[in-house]
Amino acid sequence: MMKITCFGEVLWDIFPNHKKIGGAPLNVANRLNSFGNDVTIITAIGHEENGSKLLNFIKENNINASCVQVNREYKTGKVKVMLDHKGSASYDIKYPRAWDKIRLTEINKKVVKNSDAFVFGSLVARDESSRSTLYALLELAKYKFFDLNLRTPYYTKEVLFYLMEKADFIKFNDDELYEVSKYMGSNYNSLEQNLMYIAEKTNTKHICVTKGEHGAVLLYNEKLYYNSGFLIKVVDTVGAGDSFFGSLISQLLNKTSPQESLDFACAVGALVAQSEGANPKLTESKINTFINPN
């Protein structure tokens, strides 16, 4: 069992007809916990009913809530989710919110120091308060998983480059890969060439690029691994990438081979995309049956 700390936003995804709990770090933490890892989340919520319900959700899912801060000045995170006819989501992310103001504390520092891995994204760095806390914790972490989450207008090239250089493992989707490699001066067209270009520029040996319904590519110790995806009927894509990432992290940290880890993670992402919301319950037997139906 691995000790893993997730850092960043927790929030309510507001759909046209309902709302669900989400936020990439919480979705990742929830998936990591479902596979038996010891997971702590560092975040902040508001002092209102939305915050209380979020805190209860974290505790009910056996995620360590000792580093959840309650902020009386700012409200709990909220994101308006718009779905297109294919179920693909776009987001209106409210600002500022409690998770923009995560403070650096002694307990935060101790938890990160004692963890096997530290998971973070780029969205939480949109505000100077949480960004400075993140920068301090990155100096204490043993192994750092970075999920780029490019949400206009909440990122800058400078911050992205800094976080990429600090990370041991970077996850992109294919659009993000092309956008960032272009920022960095790449003249390449293929996904693999741009992946290797970023690996060299940032001195990162472990990079994963997701390709939606077409699966993912994983660079692990100078070798490329592929999964071409699973044929499913998409309900919504909310949280599918987060569950993919949590599954991949869990498998790799627990010494599963890179190819098996990638196959498992792609299966989980597909199962989430064919379910409503970010956190459907999935058992390992259900996942393995999905990968090998016969």
- The pLDDT of residue 293: 87
In angstroms, the CA 207 to CA 205 distance is: 7
* Phi, psi (rounded to 5 degrees) for 278: -90, -20
Six-digit token string for 26: 């919480």
Residue type, 107: I
Kindly report, residue by residue over 196-213, the tens digit of the pLDDT.
999 999 999 999 999 988
Main-chain phi, psi angles of 238, to 5 degrees: -60, 120
Q: Which pLDDT does position 277 carry in this prediction?
A: 62
Beta-carbon neighbour count of residue 169 at 10 Å?
Answer: 23
Residue bearing tokens 């206009």: 152
pLDDT of residue 278: 57
Distances from the Cα of 18 to the Cα of 1, 93, 277, angstroms: 35, 16, 10
Place of tokens 């949400």: 151
Going by C-alpha positions, the residue among 19, 44, 42, 22 that lies closest to residue 31 is 22
State the burial class of residue 219 (Cβ atoms within 10 Å of its Cβ: 0-12, 13-18, 19+): buried
Residues of the chain with pLDDT under 70: 87, 277-278
Q: Is the pTM of this model over 0.85?
A: yes
| Residues listed for the chain | 294
Q: Coil, helix or strand for 103? A: coil
Helix axes 240-253, 258-273, angle to 10 degrees: 160
pLDDT of res. 18:
87
Judge: domain 3-291, CATH 3.40.1190.20. yes
